[in-house]
Structure 1
Amino acid sequence: MKNQQGRLTPNLLAMSIAAIAWSAPACAQVETQGDGIQEVIVTAQRTAAPASKTPVAMSVLTARQLDAIGADTPGALAARLPNTYLENSYDGLRITIRGVSNADVTEKGDPSAAFMADGVYVARPQSQNTALYDVERVEVLRGPQGTLYGRNTTAGVVNVITKAPVGRFEGDVNAAFGNRGERKVGAMVNVPVNDVLALRAAATWNEHDAYLKNGSNTPRGLGLDRDDRAARLSARLALAKNATLLVRYEASRDDSNNDSTVPDSNFYNGIATGQPVWNGDSTDRQLTYRFNPPNTRFEQGYSRKKASSLTADLSWDLGPATLSWLGAHRSFDHDYLYNFYYRVAPTIALGVRQPFTGTYSQDSHELRLATNGAGPVTAQGGVYWFRERARDTYYFRDLQAVGLPPYYVFGNDPVEARSKAVFGQATVRLADGLRATAGARYTEDDKSRTGTIGYQRTAAFNAATDLRELNAGSISTDKTTWRLGLDYDLAPATLVYGSIATGYKAGGFNDGCAAGD
């Protein structure tokens, strides 16, 4: 178990002191197998090392633990992670670590905690609400982690690491059924083709009926229904005696209904008088949607997500050091219709419909050189490049009662984010069991948006009757982040360490900005 104390100050400076012992409850760092204890190997410092010898404030959930608690989405991990909360919200995954979070999930914002899949940064929170299947482990690092993981890690990092092909035949089929129509099916097969190539395929399918009931006398279906499926194909190829290429391709689709909220009047009486009182209704009544907006007629809500990713991880052992390259391309399409309950004043509640459509693509590359062995000095360094391009349109309907036109439209084409960085970190053995670490990273970011805000009578813009204003902006930021640390082997099974580190969150801009502001 790792016990840690930490604080994140407003200037993004954090200190953490931790000790490791072998009694582990929820976030076990070891697994007992037979009569012995097997270490969990982690990559929290971007190189493989035992968790007990890694001086980072972190929690690790292994495949066995994930299966035991039935965690198959990121939000299901929250109960097993101290100082960490993950919420599968309708507008994306919300990550809070040590009380630090982020409320802007749009394409112009950046998170405070990074979500990664096999070491690849996943930019869109909406595509982070993904199914967890055939996972090796989940590593959660408390922040800041700005040196080795880069920007947008002031709160920390959640890294989901999937299982790679191995040199033996494996297979698995599983199914589960539960209340409210829950049904899950999963399968995996691992095939060693020969001494050079191994393949692994995994797939999952999940459905769950609505939690909410419709009492509005309209034919809408309500609730946070689950309807997702995903598949992954992985290949491990031995290019030479000391070089290995791991390629992963994954595709997923999520058609869950995101109409998942109920009005405040389900829980309180007297809201119209400005003096709400808890009504104490039964759960069945509180989960029944009875609101019919006076200003519009709600439509059937929906959310359709489609994502794909291609990742290549090359590792070449050169003897004194290992050269690695991690490249990835991800695409994400999202269309939805959300029905908002909007209380304008204590006596007035309106309905608002929000349709949305968006396409996103991102590419990233990292080249890194790390020393091998356990000599008096270990070091790593590299360069990083990232680009994201987004196009989206979303509009709010039915707001005439508050002085807005029938269609209040935001259109962005495109929104672009670019980042590049150079980094390095070294650890020096000062004495037996005592080590000092120093690292730094320099990052440059550019973000721009070309967009408009439309005040329209219909969904399609009509230059003769409608108005538009520029909603564009650009910003360039840069930052040098650093880390200093000491760690000491207090005993064979106990590590004491202290560190001080800085983090960096890339800048953004508000709606309505003019170019250059």
Structure 2
Amino acid sequence: MDNRSSRLSVAIVAALLAGTAAAQEIAPAQAAAVPPSAAEARAAQQRATDLDSVIVTVERRAQSLQKYAGTAQALSQDDLRGLGINNELRQMQVAVPGLSIANQEGATEVFIRGVGSSNNTELGDPGAAPHINGAYIPRPRGLGGMFFDLERVEINKGPQGTLRGRNALAGTLNIVTKKPELGGEFSGYVQAEAGNRDQKGYETALNFPLGDYAALRLSGYHIEKEAGFKNVGLWGHLKPAGLQDDSAGRLSFLYEPDEKLQVFAMLDVGRELGTGYPGAGVFRAAQAGFEPDDIDMRAVVYRGVQGKVDNKLWGFQGQVRYDFGAVNLEYSGSYRDVDYFQINAAADGNSWPGRDLRERPPGEPASWGGVDYDNFGTNYLQARSQSQTHELRLSSDDDARFRWTTGGFYFHEKQQVGFISLTDKGAFYSGTEFTMPDVDGRSWAVYGDGTFDVNERFRVKGGLRYTEERKSRDGIGGNWTMGFGGDGGVFQTRLGTEGFMPALLDRPSFDVTGLTSNADLARFLLQGILRAGARDTMQQQLAGIVDGTRPNGTCIDRPDIGGNAANCPADGQHSFIALGVPAAQHGSSAFEFTDWRIGAEYDLSERNLLYATVSTGHKAGGFNDSFDVNAIPETYKPEKLTALEIGSKNSFQFLGRPASFNVSGFYYDYEDQVFQDLSVIAFNPDGEASGFALVNRNVGKSELYGVEAEGRFRFGAGFTLDLNALYLQTKIKRGVVADVRSQDFGNGGITSQIDLSGNELPLSSKITFNARLQQAFDVPGGSFDWQILAAYRSAFYLTQYNNRPVTFLRDTAGTVDRIEDSATAGFPDRQDGFTQINAGAGYTTSNGAWRFELWGANLTNKDVSQKALVGSGVNTRFLNDARSYGLRVRWNF
């Protein structure tokens, strides 16, 4: 650790001791405070009870949040609903400092304290592990559809490798659903809501007691909402990205015949429909001299194909627990099935002041001021996953002096993934396809963890977990190459027009061995189309090659395919053809690693806890696309994070009312960090690089440290104030990679390198501060409550490039052509600091039967970039949800 880190460590320890001392001193100082009124006393007592009863299961045991020796937050269903965080997972980050959530192509990306993963391919894994009722979710698609009829959502910060295991590098997000209620009468609720952007929806839950020991709970929800984006182009029939039409249902069963046995089972189903997930292409606006803050990033020029998403998912999980007295036995298992399909909402970037949005006449160059609306180039994604987890766990009684847990974990996932990126009107390049009908991933682990009471106040703890991981994949990957010559030029290929549908996983064959003749290549390309578009030319151009009637294909000369500079030869065939198909992809990897943790806890009093822990976490490794070159490593290792955390948790009396103040300091050592790089996979006859591929490499190492503090204070008249602050420093210590911003496809794809050392990790604000003020009080006929949340985040970078200049190369020898600042090159990379406001208010009748709520999220309608996807000519921002507000009515019975 350098001097700065050492100074920080001293400051952290001082803050912990000061916080604990202050907490201890406040209680007696306030003993003589003016006593609250009877009503205030009852409200304070209730809130004190609520505080002590906030339960988390971070350590695989139910325990009070104030007794957990670590940093975690728990948000109840009421918290989420009151702040407008309802079926919108991305808004969770407003209430949780250090949490960043984005959605790219339906995949939820969770970062905690700057650590996470943006790899959404079939080989990628999340860096912060999502769970539902403690069951691991490998493909976090459709998680927003789980946000109904909940008990709480737990966010656990820091590596959880020992007890949570797989891919809990940054921490975990655990969605805990509402369990059936035993021993009562038939009960439930019905809720309806309406809001801006034509939002309408409902939520319901019905609880069916089955005698005194069993119960069923049936719940469901539906929501429709217009997009926060808008189409400012001429093709007004295209709906913008972000439109929602989501439904889900859940059936839960609970059986508890006595204090020893508990059986829980849950079946859930869901479906997401809409127009795809929002992206704002700011590359061309930046080149025109406009920063993202200078334009309306929700104003997008849509063209070509209509965006669409259809995500079908279902799952089943079960848990059986039995208390043998000194030992508890638990089995839990889950199965999840995800079937995701998306047509990307095709766009010509964003609008900016002075941009010409007229339709570009056929034949005019792309640099002409207008927009080529008749361009159907876009992306199609089909992603399926069938996963199962099984865990058998033994644990001691919660009251034992040595509390231990041990168990075994098994995970198996089968995936089938199809992806194709089409270039309509392409010449020599018409798209890229990666279709993998067989992807297999497995993981086995055994673990043990324990806490020993040295005496009544001092405890030590430790844990160990051993894991083996295996992955394999078979399929195809590479470019669709189609070059058709004519007299005086080259003809383009129209591909993807109205009605087009790729075959993807419905291909009749994935065997590319022995495809040498043009007829074989043409046949394989045609097998990639399930249904041709109304104005496609590819099938006509290739049909004669396949059946042998026209060995050079059928020449088609139409103004809309850009063939104005070429003429068809007299025989109606092309003067030459050049065809290429994706190559076979076969990959596998196998790794083993060990996670551990050690720690100590000391109770200064019943209400004051000091703790220190050192723990590790891993994110699974994998393998790269296979090419017949030595420059690409076959596999990449798992990432590893080692974390030191020192903290203090304190409950005390403030102004005669219950309060709490917690503070922790942490230091992370992030090793074997994976960055994406580019490697040469092909050379032209002159020996110059002519083909590149993205490669995952363990070339990074980073350091993170910071301080996090939270406090809850209660005042008279029913007021409660929650404060939460995070100071975070991140620094990449090592990492030299290809700068994909500089890739020049017009010059063989040559790319410069960039040294990332000294840069900050993406999505890591230095300062995050949340303040939440609530009040509840009696009114005639019932009670009224309101709350407001103000969340501030300081500026952060969206990629690892950190606004560094872009170096463009003239040749593969590394000769520099020019150096441009990132904004001029089209890659502004900084999200300025911002404050977001959420608020809610509600009235509940005295008998609790009716509840009326007003809520608002992102009330100032602040546009915030939550991640960026950059590449050659690409700078796509994924934004937060636009302002939303509305009214809910809930009937409890």
TM-score, reference length from structure 1: 0.86
SS in 2 for 1:471: strand
Q: Distance in 1 between matches of 2:157 and 2:180?
A: 29
Write the letter of the residue equivalent to 1:228: D
1:322-333 matched pairs, under 5 angstroms: 322-333=328-339
The aligned counterpart of 1:221 is 239
User: 484, 496, 513: which one pairs with 2:598?
Assistant: 484
* Cα offset, 1:83, TM superposition: 1.4
User: 411, 414, 421: which one pairs with 2:435?
Assistant: 411
> Residues 265 and 453 from structure 1, CA distance in 2 versus in 1: closer, same or farther, beyond 3 angstroms?
closer
User: 405, 417, 420: which one pairs with 1:395?
Assistant: 420
The aligned counterpart of 1:48 is 62
CA contact (8 A) 1:447 1:475 kept: yes
CA contact (8 A) 1:91 1:105 kept: no
1:108-507 matched pairs, under 5 angstroms: 108-167=123-182, 168-169=184-185, 170-218=187-235, 219-238=237-256, 242-258=260-276, 260-264=278-282, 271-272=287-288, 275-276=289-290, 280=294, 283=296, 286-290=297-301, 292=303, 298-341=304-347, 352-398=377-423, 405-456=429-480, 459=502, 463-465=520-522, 466=525, 467-507=581-621
Q: Distance in 1 between matches of 2:346 and 2:200?
A: 29
The aligned counterpart of 1:71 is 85
Alignment RMSD (CA, Å): 2.9
Identity of paired residues, percent?
27
The aligned counterpart of 2:651 is none
CA contact (8 A) 2:241 2:307 kept: no
Q: Distance in 2 between matches of 1:82 and 1:178?
A: 27
> Residues 267 and 436 from structure 1, CA distance in 2 versus in 1: closer, same or farther, beyond 3 angstroms?
same
Q: Which runs of 5+ in 1 are unaligned?
A: 1-6, 8-14, 24-30, 293-297
SS in 1 for 2:168: coil
Write the letter of the residue equivalent to 1:374: D
CA contact (8 A) 2:301 2:347 kept: no
1:12-91 matched pairs, under 5 angstroms: 34=46, 36-38=48-50, 39-72=53-86, 73-91=88-106
Q: Distance in 1 between matches of 2:610 and 2:291?
A: 51
Q: Distance in 2 between matches of 1:76 and 1:55?
A: 27
SS in 2 for 1:330: strand
Write the letter of the residue equivalent to 1:300: Q
CA contact (8 A) 2:336 2:386 kept: yes
CA contact (8 A) 2:181 2:207 kept: yes
CA contact (8 A) 1:239 1:245 kept: no
Q: Distance in 1 between matches of 2:61 and 2:601?
A: 17
CA contact (8 A) 2:131 2:175 kept: yes
Tell me whether 385-394 or 460-469 shows the greater mean CA deviation: 460-469
CA contact (8 A) 1:83 1:98 kept: yes
Q: Which runs of 5+ in 2 are unaligned?
A: 6-12, 27-42, 350-365, 483-494, 496-501, 508-518, 526-580, 636-893
Q: Distance in 2 between matches of 1:417 and 1:83?
A: 30
> Residues 74 and 425 from structure 1, CA distance in 2 versus in 1: closer, same or farther, beyond 3 angstroms?
same
Write the letter of the residue equivalent to 1:183: K
* Cα offset, 1:142, TM superposition: 1.1
Tell me whether 1:100 sits opposite 2:123 in the alignment: no
SS in 2 for 1:104: coil
* Cα offset, 1:453, TM superposition: 1.5
Q: Distance in 1 between matches of 2:378 and 2:584?
A: 23
Write the letter of the residue equivalent to 2:299: T
CA contact (8 A) 1:237 1:244 kept: yes
The aligned counterpart of 2:691 is none
Q: Distance in 1 between matches of 2:394 and 2:400?
A: 16
User: 497, 504, 508: which one pairs with 2:622?
Assistant: 508
SS in 2 for 1:37: helix
The aligned counterpart of 1:4 is none
> Residues 277 and 308 from structure 1, CA distance in 2 versus in 1: closer, same or farther, beyond 3 angstroms?
closer
> Residues 361 and 35 from structure 1, CA distance in 2 versus in 1: closer, same or farther, beyond 3 angstroms?
closer
Give CA-to-partner distance per residue, 1:142-170, whole Å, 9 cap, x none: 12100000021110000110011111233
CA contact (8 A) 2:189 2:206 kept: yes
CA contact (8 A) 2:104 2:277 kept: no
Q: Distance in 1 between matches of 2:341 and 2:208?
A: 37
Bigger-Rg structure (1/2): 2
Write the letter of the residue equivalent to 2:71: A
CA contact (8 A) 2:416 2:438 kept: yes
* Cα offset, 1:266, TM superposition: 8.6
CA contact (8 A) 1:263 1:291 kept: no
> Residues 366 and 429 from structure 1, CA distance in 2 versus in 1: closer, same or farther, beyond 3 angstroms?
same
* Cα offset, 1:225, TM superposition: 1.1
Give CA-to-partner distance per residue, 1:59-99, whole Å, 9 cap, x none: 11123322321322321211111211122343411111011
* Cα offset, 1:215, TM superposition: 2.6
Give CA-to-partner distance per residue, 1:171-192, whole Å, 9 cap, x none: 1111111111111210111121
CA contact (8 A) 2:306 2:346 kept: no
Q: Distance in 1 between matches of 2:90 and 2:145?
A: 9
TM-score, reference length from structure 2: 0.51
Q: What is the number of residues matched between the two proteins? A: 481
> Residues 287 and 76 from structure 1, CA distance in 2 versus in 1: closer, same or farther, beyond 3 angstroms?
closer
Write the letter of the residue equivalent to 2:418: T
* Cα offset, 1:463, TM superposition: 3.0
Q: Distance in 2 between matches of 1:316 and 1:256?
A: 44
* Cα offset, 1:262, TM superposition: 3.7
SS in 2 for 1:255: strand
Q: Distance in 2 between matches of 1:205 and 1:81?
A: 26
Q: Distance in 1 between matches of 2:162 and 2:277?
A: 40
> Residues 334 and 436 from structure 1, CA distance in 2 versus in 1: closer, same or farther, beyond 3 angstroms?
same
Q: Distance in 2 between matches of 1:422 and 1:303?
A: 39
Q: Distance in 2 between matches of 1:173 and 1:363?
A: 33
Write the letter of the residue equivalent to 1:145: Q
CA contact (8 A) 1:472 1:513 kept: no
CA contact (8 A) 2:65 2:72 kept: no
> Residues 424 and 278 from structure 1, CA distance in 2 versus in 1: closer, same or farther, beyond 3 angstroms?
closer
Write the letter of the residue equivalent to 1:171: G
CA contact (8 A) 2:598 2:613 kept: yes
> Residues 368 and 89 from structure 1, CA distance in 2 versus in 1: closer, same or farther, beyond 3 angstroms?
same
CA contact (8 A) 1:74 1:88 kept: no
* Cα offset, 1:239, TM superposition: 5.8
* Cα offset, 1:278, TM superposition: 6.6
CA contact (8 A) 1:440 1:482 kept: yes
CA contact (8 A) 1:105 1:125 kept: no
Tell me whether 450-459 or 246-255 shows the greater mean CA deviation: 450-459
Write the letter of the residue equivalent to 2:211: N
Higher helix residue share: 2
> Residues 35 and 474 from structure 1, CA distance in 2 versus in 1: closer, same or farther, beyond 3 angstroms?
closer
